[in-house]
A = this chain, B = another copy of it.
Amino acid sequence: MRDVAVIGVGMTKWGELWEKSLRDIFVESALEAVNDAGVDKIEAMYVGCMTSGLFVGQEHLGSLLSDYLGMGPIPALRVETACASGGAAFRSAIFDVACGAHDVVLAGGVEKMTDVGGDGATFALSTAADSEYEVYNGVTFPGLYALMAVAHMDKYGTTREQLAAVSVKNHANGSKNPHAQYPFEVDVDRVLNSVMIADPLTILDCSPITDGAAAAIVCPLDKVKDYTKNQPVKVLATAHATDTIALHSRKDIAWLSAVEKAGADAYKQAGLEPKDIDLVEVHDCFTIAEICVIEALGFFERGKGGPSAESGETAIGGRIPVNASGGLKSKGHPVGATGVAQIVEVTKQLRGEADKRQVENAKIGMTQNMGGTGGSSVVHIFGVE
């Protein structure tokens, strides 16, 4: 297996991009990555997208987007594992380069979520849950994560204010990210008093509906100088694990075993422990998700993630900065793009290009992307010399 490095990343402003179509926003981000790397071609492409069929009536994105990027007839494939599709696209690109099939491969992610009306987005997202058992009975994702939150509060004493503190921290970080959809700060009172979505989660506990894309270019580590002048960001680990997609099938709904498994695999591959990680981007689709994830990744003991944001330990400058980018909460969550955007952030942080949200002396970064209520999780670790 050849070692792989990230040599270019791209991302443009996320939000409700009414004036642009899926193909437009993908190409914008992909060209940013091409320009950042300084390459004049890519040899293969993987696109993470959860459900463009339901959102915009378009499948076959690999071919469509490689054509619009001007890169046809390269092999180009879409991969999907719900909201972890972006992380999985990056992992597929690694395997492609690692096995020697190609040298310069683009991993992109995209979702155009605002072009669907009525309850279309809620239904489209529900397809990440078990359609025959969960969705059929009317549960939606805010409802599922609310169940997880209630279980965590009951079992460990996690408080409503601790959930809110995650949102406060991520909005504070996102206010320093020019690409964030909602780059404003919030306080605990505002989170608690915002409209209730699924008790105990208010709308400021939920990540938004977003149009957006992101892209990263990888090549073999030993050929970096052939392709770019950028500082390479080495991929130290790639891991993917699954769990039941139905929440009711799990022993403990306050614990994310796919995240634990993918995290453990990644630490093992990299020969690292949680204490070695300088920053992590995690999948905070809801505030409770961040708390569960940082426990499953071993940054906090089981049941001890609740106070993390309140105590400042996960802030920029804290013990383990979590979601310096603003996370899904503030930056936005175009579901198929999120996993790649996490890699964009970690790459910029490790290259020292994160401006006002820079984590000082960041040498090792981790990304954790998740599908559904944790039915899948993809974890990567990156490092610079």
Spell out A's residues near B (CB within 8 Å).
1-2, 21, 23, 50-54, 56-64, 66-67, 72-82, 88, 92, 95-96, 98-101, 123-124, 126-132, 135, 239-245, 249, 257-258, 261, 371-372, 375-376
Tell me if B53 and A245 are in contact (CB < 8 A): no
Contact B258 A58 (CB under 8 A): no
Residues B56 and A53 in contact, CB atoms below 8 Å apart = no
CA A193 – CA B74 in complex, angstroms?
Answer: 41
Chain B residues contacting A92 (CB-CB under 8 Å) are 77, 79, 92, 95
A242 in contact with B74 given A59-B80, A63-B372, A79-B79 (CB within 8 Å) = yes
- For A126, the chain B residues whose CB sits under 8 A away are 57
Known pairs A81-B60, A81-B62, A124-B53; A99 contacts B1 (CB<8 A): yes
The reply to whether B132 and A100 form a contact with Cβ atoms under 8 Å apart is no
Q: Are A64 and B1 in contact (CB under 8 A)?
A: no
Contact B376–A63 (Cβ < 8 Å): yes
What is the interface of chain A mostly: helix, strand, loop, or mixed?
mixed
Contact B127 A60 (CB under 8 A): yes
Asked if B135 and A57 sit within 8 Å, CB to CB, the answer is: yes
CB distance from A383 to the nearest CB of B (A): 19
Neighbouring B residues of A239 by C-beta, 8 Å: 75
A66/B99 contact (C-beta < 8 A), A21-B132, A54-B53, A59-B80 known:
no
Would A82 and B95 count as touching, CB distance under 8 A? no
27 contacts between A and B (CB under 8 A): A21-B132, A50-B59, A51-B53, A51-B59, A52-B127, A53-B53, A53-B127, A57-B123, A59-B80, A60-B81, A60-B245, A63-B81, A63-B376, A64-B130, A67-B243, A73-B241, A73-B243, A74-B241, A76-B81, A77-B80, A77-B92, A78-B81, A79-B79, A80-B80, A95-B95, A95-B96, A98-B99
Write out the residue numbers on chain B whose beta carbons fall within 8 Å of the beta carbon of A52. 127
Instruction: Please tell me if the beta carbons of B1 and A242 are within 8 angstroms of each other in the complex.
Output: no
Contacts of A63 in B (CB 8 A): 81-82, 242-245, 258, 371-372, 375-376
Known: A57-B127, A59-B128, A95-B96. A242 touches B135 (CB 8 A): no
